[in-house]
Structure 1
Amino acid sequence: MAFARQGSEERTDLGALLSQVHPVFMLPPLAASGFGAVLAGSATPAPLVLHALATFFAVYTAHVKDGYVDFYRRGEDDDHPMSEAGCRRALACATLGFGIVTALLGTRVGVVAAVVTVPMWLLGFFHAPQFDTNPVTTTLGYPLGIALAIVGGHYAQAGQFGAEPLGFALVFLTTLAGVKIVDDSTDYQYDRSIGKRTVAVALGLERARRLAYALLYLGFVFVVLFAVGGPFPASAPLAAVAFGIVALVATRADATVATMLLVRGAYVFLAFLVVAVWYRPLAAVPLPDIGLLGPYTYLATEIAFGTLALALLVYADALRRAAVTILALYPLAYVWDWYTLEIGVFAIPLRTGVELLGIPVEEHLFMLVVPALVIGIHETVNGRGRAAAADERE
């Protein structure tokens, strides 16, 4: 059975088949399947292997079909190691393999486990030419596959759905969609020339990049929200912080370098989350009680956040503009603050007791720190984002 486009030796055929195994794209879905198993608390070998194999065959189907369409149907690629008939045979073999292991998974765990697994193959098979020409489906295809791998990997172990795997699936769907938009923007000129409507082509480079980092940020926010009031372990936000630092650096890079950084950041993100779920290092650690500072508690928080605000304003070169805005806002904030305190809307027990012009001195600082922090974040995100997009266009 020949697979290679050139040569008919077994080694050539094997090389052609292996050429469609792209580790950069193959390993994350396999890791996501394993991560889903970790979320179940314990991993039974048979369901773990079966779901991982199903994930492999689904992604392999996507790679073969994508290469087949790009070379033999669209003429986009300059070369392809597999013959046209070899691509069809490989697709048939991958589909057969997927069907066998999915059926075994359904027999072992239940029919729902198989039903949850099937969409991964559908995403892979219809990626090209159906899904990869629409801005929404071309962006969400791979992230949705990762999300399904997490949910399916968990169900294969637990035999039921859970809030934690569904939450992590949402986090990865959101963050990886952002990474995918940045990745697609590296081919902006070529995609535009052939009429391929990625998000970058549909929205333009600058707006696409803004959307990408907004999605990354939204994913990080989900991690924090689910850790504070939901099913995630307390140490999960550390993963968001680690990936967030990488994403912040990536905002200053062009699309190619940003993609490299974000892909590696996604691996770090997953690794931190695996540690957080498996070991739960902060499970027995109580929240720090800064109330121990007594009357200086409120003041200490203002100093901490004020320092952050100052750093952001200096970084964004917006110190003077922020000062003008804060001074213009201050009288309105002062009257509002004085009135709400006067009629008893809220009380501030952990303060020094020092008052200035009818309100606590901490409230004066609050009216400086909060707008400074807002302006600092705004200028850092928007000012730096516009500069990076402008540099990329040039």
Structure 2
Amino acid sequence: MAIARHGSGPRATLGAVASQVHPVFMAPPLAASGFGAVLGGVVSPRLAFLHLGVAFAALYTAHVKDGLVDFHRRGEDDDHPLTRRGCHLTLAGSTTLFFAGLAALSVLVDPVAALLALPGWLVAVFHAPQLDTNPVGATLGYPAGIGFALLGGYYVQTRTLSAAVLAFAVVFVVVLAGIKVIDDATDYDYDRSVDKRTVAVVLGRDGARRLAAALMGAGMAAVLALSATGVVPRGSALATVPFVAVALVARRADAELATMLLVRASYLFFALLVAAVWVRPLSGVSSPDITVLGPYTYLATELLWGTVAVALVVRAGAVRAAVRTTLVLYPFAYVWDWYTLTVGVFAIPMRTGIDLLGIPVEEHLFMLIVPTMVVGVHETLCGLDD
């Protein structure tokens, strides 16, 4: 039985097999593996290429398996280059290559390197028809594979995992999950008709868009926070600028166009992260030292964030809700704060030294600002949803 559905002979067979190499689908995981190697210092280029090869075999397996299920079993796709037998043969070949690479990683690095690569193949094999029928599996399968590709690419260079690579992996998964939610919305009508429970089907188009925006926003905020605290290179913050700009434009686009824009923005985001790790711009920039304010340091930070909190509740028309919430929480917060200070859980050196009711006056302000900020953010987000 032939391997290719269209044509016969070696040329048709080779073309059908090669058709399952999809650069757009494969580029992000392979780039993540390479990024992990760069983050790890590229100690061994040979191991970097080995890990790339293992990741490629898993991705090829994923694409063939999806085609087998979507065309030959479900009848979702209009066409497929491989026959059913061709799908099974290429799956066997790619799986053999994957596990050969896994064995090589285990010998040349250690078994942990192999274990970090294995989830890529598991996602590939079980994505269809198991994982893609529920919102969690349909959304997180591909992003999780990219996250593990990053961890594995780093591990084969360093034989350890750092806080930075773990943070980047989480960011990648969260941001790509947001893009995947929007991408799945392009098949909303069909997925509903076959009871395929993607996030868009479960939450509706608008709900899916809100969740996607929250995920991508959380990812960008995490990069900024991690850059500011030095967990990841400070220049990583620059990578968020073009992605956020594109995401704002994509807000008003339909699901298909938004997906195209966001996928390309994610490529740029990852490329700039690689550059930030490689070149390390802003590495000489240190955080501002506001302790020059002496005993007024804590008070100054409260003035800043208190102003933001008040602005949020005023803008959202939630002043009354903020006052009520603050008054209810204040007694509990006061007792908790007094007790923790009394037993020595923490100390506040950069303060005025003025106490009120047994605790620093700055702590009274803190207990007013935090619930106000929470109410302001909550009401602002609700306003955006509306």
Alpha-carbon separation, structure 2, partners of 1:269 and 1:81 = 33
Q: Secondary structure at the match of 1:125?
A: helix
In the TM superposition, residue 3 of structure 1 has moved relative to its aligned partner by: 2.2
Alpha-carbon separation, structure 2, partners of 1:288 and 1:267 = 32
Aligned to 1:106: 106
In the TM superposition, residue 123 of structure 1 has moved relative to its aligned partner by: 0.7
Q: Against the structure 1 CA distance between its residues 275 and 192, is the aligned structure 2 distance closer, same or farther, given a 3 Å change threshold? A: same
Q: Secondary structure at the match of 2:82?
A: coil
Aligned to 1:215: 215
Q: Which amino acid aligns with 1:277?
A: V
Aligned to 2:275: 275
Q: Against the structure 1 CA distance between its residues 249 and 292, is the aligned structure 2 distance closer, same or farther, given a 3 Å change threshold? A: farther
Give the aligned length: 373
Aligned to 1:195: 195
C-alpha contact (below 8 Å) 2:223/2:240 kept by paired residues: yes
C-alpha contact (below 8 Å) 1:139/1:199 kept by paired residues: yes
Q: Against the structure 1 CA distance between its residues 99 and 79, is the aligned structure 2 distance closer, same or farther, given a 3 Å change threshold? A: same
Alpha-carbon separation, structure 1, partners of 2:174 and 2:372 = 29
Gaps of at least 5 residues in structure 2 are 326-347, 352-367
Q: Give the 5 Å matches for 1:1-394.
A: 2-229=2-229, 231-288=231-288, 382-383=382-383, 385-386=385-386
C-alpha contact (below 8 Å) 1:306/1:373 kept by paired residues: no
C-alpha contact (below 8 Å) 2:228/2:287 kept by paired residues: no
In the TM superposition, residue 287 of structure 1 has moved relative to its aligned partner by: 2.9
User: Which portions of structure 1, spanning 4 or more consecutive aligned residues, are displaced by more than 3 angstroms?
Assistant: 288-294, 301-307, 318-329, 370-386
C-alpha contact (below 8 Å) 2:139/2:199 kept by paired residues: yes
Q: Under a length normalisation based on structure 2, what TM-score does the superposition of the two structures give?
A: 0.79
Aligned to 2:345: none
Deviations 1:206-232 (A, max 9, x none): 212111111112222322333334621
Q: Against the structure 1 CA distance between its residues 302 and 12, is the aligned structure 2 distance closer, same or farther, given a 3 Å change threshold? A: farther
Q: Against the structure 1 CA distance between its residues 320 and 207, is the aligned structure 2 distance closer, same or farther, given a 3 Å change threshold? A: closer
C-alpha contact (below 8 Å) 2:318/2:379 kept by paired residues: no
Alpha-carbon separation, structure 2, partners of 1:371 and 1:6 = 65
Gaps of at least 5 residues in structure 1 are 330-346, 351-366, 387-394
Deviations 1:321-360 (A, max 9, x none): 689999999xxxxxxxxxxxxxxxxx9x99xxxxxxxxxx
In the TM superposition, residue 319 of structure 1 has moved relative to its aligned partner by: 6.8
Alpha-carbon separation, structure 1, partners of 2:212 and 2:91 = 32
Q: Which amino acid aligns with 2:72?
A: Y
C-alpha contact (below 8 Å) 2:316/2:383 kept by paired residues: no
Alpha-carbon separation, structure 1, partners of 2:28 and 2:225 = 24
Deviations 1:62-82 (A, max 9, x none): 000001101110011111111
Deviations 1:273-318 (A, max 9, x none): 1112112211212234689999xx999x9899989x99x99xxxx9
Q: Which amino acid aligns with 2:58?
A: A
C-alpha contact (below 8 Å) 1:322/1:372 kept by paired residues: no
Alpha-carbon separation, structure 1, partners of 2:268 and 2:292 = 35
Alpha-carbon separation, structure 1, partners of 2:51 and 2:371 = 50
Q: Against the structure 1 CA distance between its residues 384 and 261, is the aligned structure 2 distance closer, same or farther, given a 3 Å change threshold? A: farther
Alpha-carbon separation, structure 2, partners of 1:324 and 1:112 = 55
Alpha-carbon separation, structure 2, partners of 1:205 and 1:274 = 33
